[in-house]
Amino acid sequence: MAVLYTLWDELLWVVTPTKHGGIQIQYVDYWNLLYPLPMALGMLSLRFLLTHYCFEPWGIHLGLKKRKVKKLAPNPALESIYFKLKHMPKDQVAGVAKQLDMNEREVERWLRQRKHQDRPSVLSKFCQNCWRCTYYTCLFVFGLAVLWDKPWLWDIRECWTGYPASLTITGDIWWYYMLSLAFYWSLVIGQFTLDVKRKDFWQMFVHHTATLLLLSFSWLAGVFKIGTLVLLVHDCADIFVEAAKAAKYAKYETTCTALFTFFALVWIVTRLGIYPFWIIKQTLLESPKYLPNFPAYYTFNILLILLLGLHCFWTYLIIKVAVAAFGAGQVEGDVRSSSEDESDN
């Protein structure tokens, strides 16, 4: 009960206006990191509503269809085997058929139809990309508006001004951080429940987890100014990749190619240019000049470099897609990752 009262008191502090207008938090508290958890559930609910009432009707209007799946006759034994193996080796089919008193062809047909039943429709992929594009666009615009008058956006050395004597954080920065944390929590939850499973599933899981850790550590260590720059740099490229995927699924090939080209340019400039040579350079090489006793120096930089490694991996995939697109005259396959299985409308 005492914990609930503490959270309630802090929430009242967050929404209390200052005499100069707006809201302000005068300290960094680890309890704030609990707020994104219920906010993430709210985002998942918002995603469901937008998908059902906005993105799905829009996709249908563009010609995408809900895939009708013929339900299989229930077979608990084969269902159990399917969830354990997904892809049954050929040499095991005969043994399973004999055990269930079925012929091999019946087993193979059932497993093939069961696999088809799990394949996501193009409409599902389209809705997922529309949701992410909407989020990244809104948060990038919000982040840019929040940071526009902040001195560290224009001079990164200002990130260390007053540290650690003053950890005052304004309300707009608080909301920017909490909404970002909530979204990445919703991505982690959605990966295992709502999202279309892709080949880079575990790379994305590592990315989301590293981002959550990075945001949490930067919050607790009071280096949230650097954290806001990391968020801003990352969100801008994701707008175009999600829009390119949605355009591809809607069969707007010219639009997809244009968006992908712009995405590739923004990605290289931000993820392989600004991020390592502006942000990581500052935290890795320059920060000790200002913060000789920086408490989370190694953890913070390891997480930043881990993200850079994932950027390099995805850049390789982007180059592969770009080369294929150049040869085919259009973007082939999914951008940055591909679905585990192809599916029809």
Q: What is the pLDDT of residue 167?
A: 64
Q: What is the per-residue pLDDT across 88-139, written as a single tens digit (0 to 9) for each?
A: 666 666 666 666 667 667 667 766 666 666 677 888 889 999 999 999 999 9
User: Which two tokens mark 147?
Assistant: 């940071």
**What is the mean pLDDT of the segment spanning 5-10?**
38
CA-CA distance, 277 to 55, in Å (whole number)?
Answer: 38
Mean pLDDT for the chain overall = 78
Per-residue pLDDT at 40? 92
Give the integer Cα–Cα distance in Å for 54 and 322.
31
Least confident of 37-46, 154-163, 270-279, 300-309: 154-163
Burial call 288-301: b when 16+ CB within 10 Å, e when fewer: eeebeebeebeebb
Q: In this model, does residue 57 exceed pLDDT 90? A: yes
Q: What integer pLDDT is reported at residue 243 of this predicted model?
A: 94
* Better-scored residue on pLDDT, 20 or 307: 307
Confidence tier at 341 by pLDDT (50, 70, 90) = very low
**Euclidean distance between CA atoms 22 and 18, whole angstroms:** 6
Q: Which one is predicted more confidently, 29 or 306?
A: 306
Domains recognised in the chain with CATH numbers: 2-61+121-328 (no CATH), 76-118 (1.10.10)
**For residue 295, cis peptide bond before it (omega within 30 degrees of 0):** no
pLDDT tens sequence across 288-328: 887 776 667 888 888 889 889 989 988 988 888 778 766 66
Q: Is the pLDDT of residue 43 over 60?
A: yes
Q: What is the pTM of this model?
A: 0.76
pLDDT score of 73: 66
From 106-110, 276-280, 339-343, the region with the lowest mean pLDDT: 339-343
